[in-house]
Structure 1
Amino acid sequence: MKEKDLLFFQPLWRRIVVTLFCAGWAGWEWLNGQTLWGLIITGVTLYCYWTLFHTFVPIERQDKKG
């Protein structure tokens, strides 16, 4: 990911919201019988999990005193 993306996803709540949104969307597609879109969005959800939780390395804040 680019540095600007890393800055946007630093707060944990944003990573959770994006991943849950994708999971909900995938569930919606599967429930409506849209197999192709269900597979695509399930892949996007897995990518979100992998990138935003499994391999995500938070940036250390440089403004700490000490």
Structure 2
Amino acid sequence: MRIFDLSEPFFAPLWRRVVIVAVCIGWGVLELAAASSFWGFVFLVTGIYCAWVFFISGPYATRRPGKDPKA
């Protein structure tokens, strides 16, 4: 069982993925500005991880035609 199963069909629409990343990173910045470094780093790391999975390496990342080894 994975804690964050980011390959769920719920995350397929682009706007949901963008909102989740923006909220996590925004909340992390807000927590850091309020001098709560622990929660700030927790939310920043969560936002960065979600961005990595959603847009770079995960199942929803767009593949470029010349860069895909299976193409």
Q: Do the structures match in fold with TM over 0.5?
A: yes
Q: Which secondary structure does the structure 1 equivalent of 2:24 belong to?
A: helix
TM-score for the superposition, normalised by structure 2: 0.70
Q: Which of 2, 10, 13 matches 1:11?
A: 13
* Larger helix share, 1 or 2: 1
Q: Which of 12, 26, 29 matches 1:24?
A: 26
| Inter-partner Cα distance in structure 1 for 2:51 and 2:6 | 17
TM-score for the superposition, normalised by structure 1: 0.74
RMSD: 1.5
Aligned residues: 56
Q: Which of 43, 46, 55 matches 1:44?
A: 46
| Inter-partner Cα distance in structure 2 for 1:2 and 1:43 | 15
Which portions of structure 1, spanning 4 or more consecutive aligned residues, are displaced by more than 6 angstroms? none
Q: Which of 30, 36, 39 matches 1:34?
A: 36
**Which structure is higher in RCO with an 8 Å CA cutoff and minimum separation 6?**
1
Provide structure 1 residue ranges, at least 5 long, that are not aligned to the other structure: 59-66
Provide structure 2 residue ranges, at least 5 long, that are not aligned to the other structure: 61-71
Identity, in percent, stands at: 32
